[in-house]
């Protein structure tokens, strides 16, 4: 290798190294500027909510706020459960058994995120063609298990992570 070539190589290495390391630094500086818009620590700390469900009559439902979004908690009657379980999976756009949407042994309690999976509106209860919910924004019909039956929404209403703390209290999140 001639002396001239060596010089060029060293120069190339220097410039490449400077550019590369400089780019890494710029990336490292950009991340905090992006991450600051993510939920902050105070928001993250509010991720669980406990709800008292002792006052809900069969067939009625309540709506509570969790992470700024409505949660529908419905105590279903045995007729409603039977109706939900009688539906053939083939008739569902997003096939899912009712049993998979409730906790074992607590079949009457439907706890779900009350947000239409189409574009985020809140569906109205006891409306629509399937005795469940109806989204007024773009006409999605949900059944008594919160599953999509008709309309533009692609999937069933989401079931959040929740558990029964005792028979009268559930913890969402």
Partner 1 sequence: MIKFNLKLIVLSFLLLISLKPLQSAEMADPIKVDWSFKGLTGTFDRASLQRGFQVYKEVCASCHSMQYLSYRNLGEPGGPEFSEQEVKAIASSFEIEDGPDSQGEMFTRPGKPSDKFKSPYPNVQAATAANGGAYPPDMSVLVKARKGGANYIYSVLVGYEDPPPGVTLDDGVYYNKYMAGNKIKMPNNLMDGLVEYADGTESTVDQMAKDVTTFLAWAAEPELEQRHKTGVKVIIYLVLLTTLVYLSMKKIWSRVDTEV
Partner 2 sequence: MSEQEYVPKSKAGKWFNDRLPLLTLGAHLTDYPTPKNLNYWWTFGGILTFCLITQIVTGIVLAMHYVAHADLAFASVEHIMRDVNYGWLIRYIHSNGASMFFLAVYIHIFRSLFYGSYKSPREVIWIIGLMIYLLMMAAAFMGYVLPWGQMSFWGATVITNLFSAIPLVGDSITTWLWGAYSVDNPTLNRFFSLHYLIPFLILGLVVLHIWALHVPGNNNPVGIDIKKPSKDTVPFHPYITIKDAFALLVFMIIFAGFVFFTPNVLGHSDNYIPANPLVTPAHIVPEWYLLPFYAILRSVPDKLGGVILMFSAIFILFVLPWLDTSKVRSAVFRPIYRQFFWILVIDVLMLGYVGAMPAEGIYLVLARVGTIYYFLHFIVVMPVVGYLEKTDPIPMSISEPVLNGGAEPSLARKANDKV
Residues with catalytic function:
138
Minimum distance, C-beta of residue 60 to partner 1, in the bound complex (Å): 14
* Residue 124 touching partner 1 (CB under 8 A): no
Residues 42-71 contacting partner 1, CB under 8 A: 42, 45-46
Contact 51, 70 (CB under 8 A): no
Cα 173 to Cα 162: distance, rounded to the nearest angstrom: 6
Give which of partner 1, partner 2, none residue 36 binds (C-beta under 5 to 8 Å, depending on kind): partner 2
Binding mask 32-71 for partner 2 (x = CB under 8 A): xx-xxxx-xxxx----------------------------
Q: Which CA distances in Å does 19 have to 11, 22, 33?
A: 12, 5, 21
Minimum distance, C-beta of residue 115 to partner 2, in the bound complex (Å): 25
Six-digit token string for 143: 């059944």
Could you say which DSSP state residue 101 is in?
A: G
Six-digit token string for 16: 């490449």
């Amino acid at each position: 290798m001639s002396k001239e070539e060596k010089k060029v190589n060293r120069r190339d290495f220097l410039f490449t190294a400077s550019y590369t390391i400089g780019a890494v630094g710029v990336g490292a500086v950009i991340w905090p500027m992006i991450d600051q818009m993510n939920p902050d620590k105070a928001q993250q700390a509010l991720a669980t909510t406990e709800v008292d469900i002792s006052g809900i009559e069969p067939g009625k439902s309540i709506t509570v706020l969790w992470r700024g979004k409505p949660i529908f908690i419905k105590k279903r009657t045995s007729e409603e459960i039977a109706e939900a379980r009688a539906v053939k999976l083939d008739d569902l756009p997003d096939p899912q058994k009712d049993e998979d949407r409730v906790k074992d042994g607590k079949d009457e309690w439907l706890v779900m995120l009350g947000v239409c999976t189409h574009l985020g509106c809140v569906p109205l209860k006891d409306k629509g063609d399937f005795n469940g919910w109806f989204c007024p924004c773009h006409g999605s019909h949900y059944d008594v298990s919160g599953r999509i039956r008709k309309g533009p929404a692609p999937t069933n209403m989401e079931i959040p992570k929740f558990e029964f703390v005792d028979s009268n209290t559930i913890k969402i999140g």
